[in-house]
Structure 1
Amino acid sequence: MLNRPFRVAGAFALALSFAALCVPSTAARAAGSFFKDKTLSIVVPVGPGGTYHVYAQILARHLTKHVPDNPTVIVQNRPGGGGATSAAYMANVAPKDGTVIGKIVPGMLTHPLVRDTGYDATRFQYLGAIAARDFSIAVWHDSPAKTWEGLREHEVTFGATGRAASSYVVPAFINGVLGTKIKIVTGYGSGGDLNIAMERGETQGRGNFYSGFSSVRPDWIRDRKIRFLLTMGPKNPKLAGVPRVRDLLKPGSIEMKTFDLLEASFNLGQAFYLPEGAPADRVEVMRKAFWATLMDPELKAECEQRRVDYGPVSAEDLRRVVTEGMEPARDPEVVKKFRTLMGAKAS
Structure 2
Amino acid sequence: IKQIKEGKMSLVIGTHALIQKDVEFKNLSLIIIDEQHRFGVEQRSELKNKSGDNKTMPHFLSMTATPIPRTLALVLYGDLDISLIKAMPADRQPIITKLVEAKNRAKAYDFINQQIATGRQVFVICPLIDPSDKLGVKSVTEEYEKLDKEIFPHLKIDLLHGKLKPEAKNEVMSKFQDNKTNILVSTSVVEVGVDIPNATVMMIEGADRFGLAQLHQFRGRVGRGQHQSYCFLFTDNNSSHTIERLKTLTSTLDGFKLAEADLQYRGSGDIYGTMQSGYNNQLIIKSLANIPLLKKSKDAVNNIIKADPELKHYPKLNKKIFQSKNSGEVANPSNIHLE
Q: TM-score, normalised by structure 1?
A: 0.30
Structure ranking higher in strand proportion: 1
Structure ranking higher in helix proportion: 1
Q: TM-score, normalised by structure 2?
A: 0.31
Q: Which has the higher contact order (CA 8 A, sep 6+)?
A: 1
Larger radius of gyration: 2
